[in-house]
Structure 1
């Protein structure tokens, strides 16, 4: 089977091609799947897409017209996919329901620690042989309070690390995680979590109810010296409101591995371009804001599991089987994905 894979990172390519070696041949492309690149998939029954692919109705129509019947997305979230349009076109859509939660949780902690201890500022100084400690004072995390919004597998992994630091644990989710409760987590309202937490971290899916969950009101409710971390989905945060809070001198710092308009920038070299996104450009000016390019998942273990699940999705599609990763199966939309 000939497969075309979009948005393949250089480090990912050999792993992906090795996994599909044998009965399949993968054409790996570094371009992302969108309206402009969709015609490349003409003649390919199976397409694999990456996290920032545009799988709206118009893109799906182009793919279907070119003969594509199955899309194997190499990511967990599917807010970028028009599932109803895929069903109407008789397509199959697979994703990766889960991979190493430690990859994202550990990276979220890396952001939090770097912000708390001013690591980036210190490193920039020492490269210029400036070894002063002015402005580099952090805080002990032991005894402070962490607020975890979303206590699924990743949120739980983050909580276990927080427990190891000796922090007080607050959680918010639709359902309580018994493993987090066993660690001493107390589930509270969002309002209380915002008001009491010294460190707030987001591990939620992006759905209509969570879009811009961190808005102006939520930011106003947080402590002036709180740290905010988002390694989940950019759309969880109202970035314009975040900029206003930072301009007012609030928050110790912010760590963002995701951005609501990231598809135009992340994974590309924009160093020679004029950045037209005023909000992103303004965020970059704050010394207490650390932005990375959606790399929290990018470990050998997590990428390996993502590829393994993608191969399984393709094999199950070809064998007319279904699995927990399938959001749409040959035009049928499962109840859980509606």
Structure 2
């Protein structure tokens, strides 16, 4: 059986080898690439003879799936699979798809807190003022304690984020398509979507990207937010109408935004609306990226391969199929 790790997993080569060795000792061929494919054609060549693929967040077109005739299983070293094309083909062929759910819960939640504190306390501006002979003038911010935080999407990352905000003394409102018992036990007060965004001082998004969630935070919904409120998005860029968000920031309809995800992967084009928006704190889709989380995702992703081979698949997103040697 041919197993290919078709893009870097951002861990030390020795750590990667440690994870690969048990599979190799069982007689499986495991090939790991240390650079992402430069083109779709190159990706097709890499994957064509693979039975199992381990991928990360590089866009994976449907044409690659179509050309991979031996493919039985894909382990996605990521939480979302919206970058994976050919889903209909995958389902029709009975290919198992697993993800690395949970690997970045802490890293994403911590960046949400970091963006929020930066916006509330003007940390970037204070750093610049100090370096340019400035003073405290214009830098008086706000405390996080006591602010109402609205968590839109109370899955694993949403609940971890809520727990961190609670540690800072923040009451939590929550919206989720289905109310989570764990959220209730934590003291989250569940409300309808419009109520959460209109009553919260800080709104943090933790929804997957689906046809139902694309553009869910539209200009109309942004208008419901308090003029003193902050929006944090470390989930998926297209959940928000980002042109409408830039307009809302420039008009003072909301006070600020911390955004890690966009309508495309960085680098962003020079005319992207949020680049010139007022009080927009932007990071290049790196909420998931810590040394600790990279090790966790590699362990989960390759562990998924082992579990599949042992006919006990884990973290399954799309229908499992039996192993065929």
Shift of 1:259: 1.1
Q: Which residue of 2 aligns with 1:327?
A: 318
Q: Which residue of 1 aligns with 2:188?
A: 185
Unaligned residue ranges in structure 2 (runs of 5+): none
The question of whether the paired residues in 1 share the 8 Å contact of 2:117 and 2:144 is answered with: no
Shift of 1:174: 1.8
Deviations for 1:189-248, whole angstroms, at most 9, x for unmatched residues?
111112111100011111121111111111111111211001111121111111121221
Shift of 1:8: 1.7
Taking structure 1 as the reference length, what is the TM-score of the superposition?
0.84
The partner residue of 2:119 within 111, 115, 120 is 115
Shift of 1:17: 3.4
The partner residue of 2:287 within 296, 299, 305 is 296
Alignment of 1:95-114 (within 5 A): 95-114=99-118
Deviations for 1:166-209, whole angstroms, at most 9, x for unmatched residues?
22221111222333323432111111112111100011111121
Alignment of 1:140-159 (within 5 A): 140-159=143-162
SS at match of 1:278: coil
The partner residue of 1:283 within 254, 274, 277 is 274
Matched, 1:49 2:55: yes
Task: Give the whole-Å Cα distance in 1 for the aligned partners of 2:322 and 2:222.
Answer: 42
| Cα distance change, pair 38–120 in 1 and its aligned pair in 2 (3 A) | same
SS at match of 2:223: helix
Task: Give the whole-Å Cα distance in 2 for the aligned partners of 1:245 and 1:236.
Answer: 16
Task: Give the whole-Å Cα distance in 2 for the aligned partners of 1:58 and 1:5.
Answer: 18
Matched, 1:137 2:130: no
Deviations for 1:134-184, whole angstroms, at most 9, x for unmatched residues?
332211122221111111221111111222222222111122233332343
Task: Give the whole-Å Cα distance in 2 for the aligned partners of 1:218 and 1:32.
Answer: 39
Q: Which residue of 2 aligns with 1:248?
A: 251
SS at match of 1:305: helix
Shift of 1:10: 4.4
Task: Give the whole-Å Cα distance in 2 for the aligned partners of 1:200 and 1:37.
Answer: 41
Shift of 1:305: 2.3
After the TM superposition, which segments of 4 or more aligned residues of structure 1 sit over 6 Å from their partners?
Answer: none
Matched, 1:30 2:23: no
Task: Give the whole-Å Cα distance in 2 for the aligned partners of 1:184 and 1:92.
Answer: 37
SS at match of 2:151: strand
The partner residue of 1:88 within 71, 88, 92 is 92
Taking structure 2 as the reference length, what is the TM-score of the superposition?
0.87
| Cα distance change, pair 252–16 in 1 and its aligned pair in 2 (3 A) | farther
